[in-house]
């Protein structure tokens, strides 16, 4: 009797352990769910800037090919900007300053008024480009009157452009690109504090100069700064090299507590964070801005690119830079992950595991699996396109291998190129179902050719299997991010 009493608690504990092991862990719904856009957003609109205001509208401005005016449109959704009517709010001067090369407008709302920062040359010297500011006190900047606040006076009276403004720790800053004769040809990134939206104060700091090969292809260029903050860091993107297929995004990083005016506070990433991609057919991605999704839960990258590599003549004479969106993801270490410039059409998403929230469906050596910390972001991005079989199905097309789809072969799931056969179409088509373990927010994918069988991970690898237990159903449930 004494021996039974001693073993009783151990037996109960062992039984409970088995039960706990059999019950799948339930992950929280992701903080940043999937966002869906269709690219391109705007044809022949370069240097795009999108500002989300508290009035419920997104405001969009960009460089037009004629380089002769500033345009503005607004919509309550980001995709809505693609079809929103466009208004010309200002036109270049016929003579003198602000008479040519009207470039890179940005719209900001500061202390109750609207401001547009832009670059312009003079009518008599189109390359005497300097930064300028417009102001409007109207509630609706598309219909309000704009006043010219004039040129932003800089200590160096040299080629300067692409001004942006942001606040950090209670201080407003201006950042811009400018030629510094002490450095030589090309442009560097400068930073200064501001006393008002059209006046800098103190001595500017030069925080980045083009030195890497990817910053000096065609021209020595650092330009178009844009700022986003997260996790105790200040990130500043910039664009580098000539405005052809060499154009790309670089990244500077500073601690949020650092003195941003000290060049040593900034660290430059050694490689571009977004560059041309032959597979997706996007070339010269750059001159970006940042905004947030309608629910405020996702960061959105706004940028331009062309859909062809080769350009005849001066790239500045080629009008076909197009405004595009894609979601900005974040690595486990808190750094931004830009991925690749995604293909035209529907933007891709990621699928995280229901019971292992740090793992994502991805391909590695063309085998489908789930892994954590997938820093090669595009390996874990898929477009849920109309199924190859139709019939209300979807197919999961790889973001970095367009034309390749997840398909099952003898229950194993692989990424393979569509061979056009009916067998491939059947094996690569799925019915999108409510999540087997979370029908409210999750998603599961039932095989078209093997009804009752679902995409399920097991030991990191992906299979098409029939779920029979709670664990199976958890393994077959994902969240779109």
Please pick, among 180, 223, 379, 427, the residue that the annotation labels catalytic: 223
Q: Which pLDDT score, from 0 to 100, does residue 29 have?
A: 83
Has residue 420 got a pLDDT over 80?
yes
**Edge to edge, what strands does the sheet with 130-136 contain?**
100-110, 113-121, 130-136, 147-151
Segments of 260-402 assigned E as strands: 267-268, 283-292, 299-306, 322-330, 336-337, 345-346, 351-353, 359-364, 367-372, 382-386, 394-398
Query: What's CA 96's distance to the chain center, in Å?
Result: 38
**Rounded distance between C-alpha atoms, residue 213 and residue 99, angstroms:** 34
List Cα–Cα distances, 85 to 40, 48, 62, 82, 434, in angstroms: 16, 16, 14, 9, 37
**Token pair belonging to 327:** 């979601």
Has residue 339 got a pLDDT over 70?
yes
Has residue 3 got a pLDDT over 50?
no
Confidence of residue 23 (pLDDT cuts 50, 70, 90): very low
Has residue 380 got a pLDDT over 50?
yes
**Rounded distance between C-alpha atoms, residue 227 and residue 206, angstroms:** 16
Q: Which pLDDT score, from 0 to 100, does residue 286 have?
A: 98
Q: Which pLDDT score, from 0 to 100, does residue 17 have?
A: 41
**Rounded distance between C-alpha atoms, residue 139 and residue 137, angstroms:** 7
- Summarised one tens digit per residue, pLDDT across range 258-274 is 999 999 999 999 999 99
Confidence of residue 26 (pLDDT cuts 50, 70, 90): low
Has residue 252 got a pLDDT over 70?
yes
Element (H, E) at 22: helix 2-22
Q: Tell me which residue of 356, 359, 354 sits closest to 373, measured CA to CA.
A: 359
47 a catalytic residue: yes
Confidence of residue 19 (pLDDT cuts 50, 70, 90): very low
Q: How does the average pLDDT of the chain come out, rounded? A: 94
| Contact criterion met (CB below 8 Å) for 42 and 322 | yes
Report yes or no on whether pTM surpasses 0.85: yes
- Per the model's pLDDT, the better-predicted residue between 2 and 360 turns out to be 360
First CA to last CA across the chain, in angstroms? 57
Q: Which pLDDT score, from 0 to 100, does residue 25 have?
A: 55
To the nearest 10°, report the CA torsion of 73, 143, 295, 374: 30
- Per the model's pLDDT, the better-predicted residue between 22 and 383 turns out to be 383
**Token pair belonging to 369:** 């699996």
Q: Tell me which residue of 188, 155, 189, 187 sits closest to 175, measured CA to CA.
A: 189
Q: Tell me how crowded residue 390 is: count the other CB atoms within 10 A of its CB.
A: 10
- What share of the chain has pLDDT > 90, as a percent? 93
| Contact criterion met (CB below 8 Å) for 119 and 103 | yes
Q: Which pLDDT score, from 0 to 100, does residue 391 have?
A: 85
Has residue 18 got a pLDDT over 50?
no
Q: Tell me how crowded residue 413 is: count the other CB atoms within 10 A of its CB.
A: 26
- What share of the chain has pLDDT > 70, as a percent? 94
Residues 185-213 have a mean pLDDT of: 98
Beta-bridge partners for 413: 408
| Domains contained in the chain, CATH given | 39-346 (2.115.10.20), 348-480 (2.80.10.50)
- Summarised one tens digit per residue, pLDDT across range 138-186 is 999 999 999 999 999 999 999 999 999 999 999 999 999 999 999 999 9
Residues 445-455 have a mean pLDDT of: 98
Show Cβ contacts of residue 84 under 8 Å, excluding neighbours closer than 6 positions. Answer: 60, 73, 74, 75
Show Cβ contacts of residue 295 under 8 Å, excluding neighbours closer than 6 positions. Answer: 33
Q: Which pLDDT score, from 0 to 100, does residue 377 have?
A: 98
Confidence of residue 27 (pLDDT cuts 50, 70, 90): low
């Amino acid at each position: 009797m004494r021996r039974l009493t001693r073993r009783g608690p151990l037996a109960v504990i062992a039984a409970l352990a088995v039960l706990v092991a059999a019950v799948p862990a339930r992950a929280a719904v992701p903080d940043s769910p999937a966002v869906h856009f269709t690219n391109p957003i705007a044809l022949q609109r370069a240097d795009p800037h999108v500002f989300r205001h508290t009035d419920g509208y997104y405001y969009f401005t960009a460089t037009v090919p004629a380089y002769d005016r500033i345009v503005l449109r607004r919509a309550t959704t980001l995709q809505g900007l693609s079809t929103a009517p466009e208004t010309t709010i200002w036109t270049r001067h016929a003579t003198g300053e602000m008479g040519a090369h009207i470039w890179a407008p940005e719209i900001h709302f500061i202390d109750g008024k609207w401001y547009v920062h832009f670059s312009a040359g003079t009518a008599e010297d189109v390359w005497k480009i300097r930064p300028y500011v417009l102001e409007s006190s109207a509630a609706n900047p598309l219909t309000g009157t704009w006043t010219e606040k004039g040129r932003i006076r800089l200590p160096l009276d040299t080629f300067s452009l692409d001004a942006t403004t942001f606040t950090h720790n209670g201080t407003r800053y201006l950042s811009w690109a400018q030629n510094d004769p002490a450095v030589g040809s090309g442009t560097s990134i400068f930073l200064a504090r501001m006393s008002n939206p059209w006046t800098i104060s103190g001595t500017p700091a030069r925080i980045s100069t083009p030195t890497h090969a990817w910053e000096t292809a065609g021209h020595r260029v650092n330009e178009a700064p844009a700022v986003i903050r997260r996790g105790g860091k200040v990130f500043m993107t910039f664009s580098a090299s000539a405005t052809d297929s060499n154009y790309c995004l670089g990244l500077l990083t500073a601690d949020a507590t650092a003195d941003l005016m000290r060049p040593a506070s900034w660290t430059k990433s050694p490689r571009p964070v977004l560059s041309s991609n032959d597979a997706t057919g996007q070339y010269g991605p750059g001159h970006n801005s940042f905004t947030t999704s309608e629910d405020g839960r996702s960061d959105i990258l706004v940028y331009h690119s062309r859909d062809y590599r080769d350009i005849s003549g001066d790239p500045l004479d080629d009008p076909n830079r197009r405004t595009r969106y894609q979601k900005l993801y974040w690595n486990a270490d808190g750094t931004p992950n830009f991925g690749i410039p995604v293909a035209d059409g529907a933007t891709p998403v990621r699928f995280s595991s229901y019971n292992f929230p740090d793992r994502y469906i991805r391909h590695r050596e063309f085998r489908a699996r789930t892994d954590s910390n997938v820093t090669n972001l595009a390996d874990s991005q898929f477009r849920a396109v109309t199924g190859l079989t139709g019939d209300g199905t979807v197919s999961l097309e790889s973001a970095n291998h367009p034309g390749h789809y997840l398909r099952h072969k003898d229950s194993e799931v692989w990424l393979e190129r569509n061979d056009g056969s009916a067998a491939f179409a059947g094996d690569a088509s799925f019915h999108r179902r409510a999540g087997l373990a979370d029908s409210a927010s999750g998603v599961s994918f039932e095989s078209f050719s093997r009804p009752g069988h679902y995409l399920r991970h097991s030991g990191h690898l992906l299979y098409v299997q029939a779920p029979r237990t709670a664990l199976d159903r958890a393994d077959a449930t994902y969240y779109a991010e």
